[in-house]
Structure 1
Amino acid sequence: MTVDRRVILLTGLSGAGKTTATKSLEDIGFRTIDNLPHELLPALVEKIAADPQRFARICLVLDARDGDPSKTIELVRTGTAAIGVSARIIYLDARDDVLIRRFSETRHRHPLGGAVDAPRSVADAIAAERMLLSATRES
């Protein structure tokens, strides 16, 4: 029996809905991994190749906490292509006013909000994140 193997790379702005999308993907049978260090990607690709039934549907959630995720995306694309699996990117975005409202409602700090003793505004953090993720958004 052939297994329909899929790898989704879920990325985008903080507050744009990655957690909600992750929960929906889990509901339809995806195993989700949030912010796996890129050093562990080769081991993940090996696991996908070794046990295609168990790791048929994988979603990797990537964000800006560790910097620009474009290198990680390229590593995943190259690694999965080598085992005959394509990786699809889903980039989630939202208007700045929506993101600011969401951070205000949840009272969470933006991941790029700066040091606790020298915080930057949510609007400035969103602008920095947009700039950091611009190459990823275009891919």
Structure 2
Amino acid sequence: MRFVIVTGMSGAGKSTALRMLEDMGYFCVDNLPVQFVGKFAELINMPSSEVTKVALGIDIRSGHALEEMGKVLDDMKASGFKYEVLYLDASDEVLVKRYKETRRSHPLAKHGRVDSGIEAERARLTFMKKRADYILDTSPLLTRELKAELEKIFVNNQKYRNLFVTVLSFGFKYGIPSDSDLVFDVRFLPNPYYIDELRPQTGNDKAVQDFVMETEQAVQFLDKLEDMVDFLIPNYIIEGKNQLVISIGCTGGKHRSVTLANKLYDRLKKCQDYGLKVEHRDIEKDSLRKR
């Protein structure tokens, strides 16, 4: 029996995650009253039960009864019942944006501001986050990427650390990404922009990559960056960090930064201890400005 409790912030993707888990063969129940959770666990774990995988959604909709969930989990653990807690999170900025896009009201905001409801919800869910076996920050994730992470944990049973790494290229002339944890400037490298045949291409093209990486400085930079990231990530995992954004910038975010971001991604993807993606924030902005 695999019993997963899906919880976390409203707007972080719990309903989506439950639908995905259902597609993966889990028997899913959402918003079951907290008072019934223990009894439900007993019934689902009876020898006559044919259900082997369960996902149970519990969140702020439980109202004040949510406070009883800690005791429920303690009782389940004391009885020898094994469960896992998946906590879905997202940054305040992303949650506010999602609520504005869907035009839904936050369950704790009532007629007030969304961010005040988010703040109150974080405080009330702190005890559940501390109990979580898996913390997924969905801020940087596309739907397919969330699905891949869930499959890794709950289908393929791969070892999972609560960290998702985004390698992000950007252009300094468009501003440093506000969610950056580590920022690296590669404007010291020769710029393909000044080569006529390379100017319209990007760091996704082999010709640009070859031009950037043919310099000794680019190779040394990449080696040293990989070495530092390999040192930092295990320590971030120990510290409990669940999202790391490594931003690499050049002037326009089209050539050098894209090349180095791709190369760093290629080197890091061999490790299975954390989620990983590469993004190019400003790669198309130069061409858009010229239209």
TM-score under structure 1 length normalisation: 0.82
2:76 is matched with which residue: 64, 74, 79? Answer: 79
Q: Distance in 1 between matches of 2:54 and 2:20?
A: 13
> What is the match of residue 113 of structure 2?
121
| Residue 80 (structure 1) shift | 6.3
Contact 2:59 2:66 in 1 (8 A): yes
Q: How does 1:23-38 map to 2 (within 5 A)?
A: 23-38=19-34
> What is the match of residue 57 of structure 1?
53
1:18-50 per-position Cα deviation (integer Å, ceiling 9, x unaligned): 011111110111111111112222431231122
> What is the match of residue 131 of structure 1?
123
* Aligned residue pairs, count: 130
Q: Distance in 2 between matches of 1:14 and 1:41?
A: 20
Q: Distance in 2 between matches of 1:54 and 1:77?
A: 25
Contact 1:6 1:85 in 2 (8 A): no
Structure-2 change in CA distance of 1:52 and 1:87 (3 Å): farther
TM-score under structure 2 length normalisation: 0.41
Structure 2 residue runs without a partner (length 5+): 132-291
Secondary structure at 2:108's aligned position in 1?
coil
Percent identical residues: 35
Secondary structure at 2:90's aligned position in 1?
coil
| Residue 73 (structure 1) shift | 4.7
Q: Does 1:101 align with 2:93?
A: no
Structure 1 residue runs without a partner (length 5+): none
> What is the match of residue 69 of structure 1?
66
Moved over 6 A (4+): none
- Please identify the structure whose Cα radius of gyration is greater: 2
Q: Distance in 1 between matches of 2:85 and 2:48?
A: 20
Contact 2:70 2:127 in 1 (8 A): no
> What is the match of residue 21 of structure 1?
17
Q: Distance in 1 between matches of 2:49 and 2:67?
A: 28
Q: Distance in 2 between matches of 1:10 and 1:88?
A: 9
| Residue 77 (structure 1) shift | 5.3
Q: Which moved more, 1:100-109 or 1:42-51?
A: 42-51
Supply the RMSD in Å over aligned alpha carbons.
2.0
Q: Distance in 1 between matches of 2:72 and 2:27?
A: 19
| Residue 68 (structure 1) shift | 6.7
Secondary structure at 2:68's aligned position in 1?
helix
The higher relative CO (CA closer than 8 Å, separation ≥ 6) is in: 1
